[in-house]
Amino acid sequence: MIAPSILSADFARLADEVAAVAGSDWLHVDVMDAHFVPNLTLGLPIVEALLKVTDIPMDCHLMIENPERWAIGYAEAGAHNVTVHAEAAREPVRIARDLRAAGAKAGLSVKPDTPLEPYLEVLREFDTLLVMSVEPGFGGQKFIAHVLDKVRMVRTMIDTGHLNLLVEIDGGINADTIEQAAEAGVDCFVAGSAVYSAADPAMAVRALRTQAANAAHHLT
């Protein structure tokens, strides 16, 4: 699965930029509040507007404080998957259950240096795990390879029946890094610059999907 990140799109032409990645599995929307991360992007009104112009499932990544208050609105608006950060969530289990009750899948994200072990039990309540392979807040950063240890841990737990969720990765994913992420056990790849800097973004999505599928048996 490839989820183009509109953080790398032209914000003045968002509807056109979304149309340019037709055929993508998910559309990744980075919501930042300038508190949890040092950047301010877009919020619920933009997500609601985008939902009217595309049928690509919306993957909302909330890099915000107090997700208990704000996350449910994205689910109620029609987002397919809503991800909150483990570092910001005071009641992650409650958030997961509320998101599911509102009709969305529930995702939990961890920063590159956040250990995964304290959240392994909590992950049983979630549908997706988003492993950050850059520090959250800005696009165009270099891929941090050591986070793949967390991916391998979770993939083993999935393969042995201890967890049942989709593994997503976000940060520095491109033609040079997607294969090692796929080999480690990732299911869904967020790609920003690698898609939107291409002459044909939709073709870039297809090429990345093929690369990932060829690199990992669990994706075929």
Distances (CA, A) of 167 to 22, 107, 139, 154, 188: 22, 10, 20, 8, 6
**What is the model's pLDDT at position 218?**
82
Out of 4-18, 136-150, 176-190, pick the least confident.
136-150
Catalytic residue among 30, 33, 59, 127: 30
pLDDT for residue 102 is more than 90: yes
**Which residues sit opposite 29 in a β-bridge?**
60
What's the Rg (C-alpha) of the chain? 16
pLDDT tens figures, 23-48: 999 999 999 988 888 888 889 999 99
pLDDT tens figures, 110-120: 999 999 999 99
**What is the model's pLDDT at position 37?**
84
**What is the model's pLDDT at position 135?**
85
**What is the model's pLDDT at position 137?**
67
**What is the model's pLDDT at position 139?**
60
Catalytic residue among 33, 59, 127, 170: 170
Average pLDDT of the chain is: 93
What is the Cα–Cα distance from 144 to 132, expressed in whole angstroms?
9
* Nearest residue to 190 (alpha-carbon basis) of 52, 21, 14, 19: 21
**What is the model's pLDDT at position 41?**
86
Instruction: Please tell me whether the overall predicted TM-score, pTM, comes out greater than 0.85 for this model.
Output: yes
pLDDT for residue 94 is more than 90: yes
pLDDT tens figures, 40-84: 888 999 999 999 999 999 999 999 989 999 999 999 999 999 999
Q: Is 170 a catalytic residue?
A: yes
Average pLDDT over residues 97-105: 96
**What is the model's pLDDT at position 111?**
94
Q: Is 33 a catalytic residue?
A: no
pLDDT for residue 140 is more than 70: no
Full strand arrangement of the beta sheet holding 128-132: 2-4, 188-191, 166-170, 128-132, 105-110, 81-85, 58-63, 27-32
- Domain 2-215 CATH superfamily: Aldolase class I (3.20.20.70)
Domain boundaries, the chain: 2-215
**What is the model's pLDDT at position 173?**
95
What is the Cα–Cα distance from 157 to 193, expressed in whole angstroms?
31
Average pLDDT over residues 203-207: 97
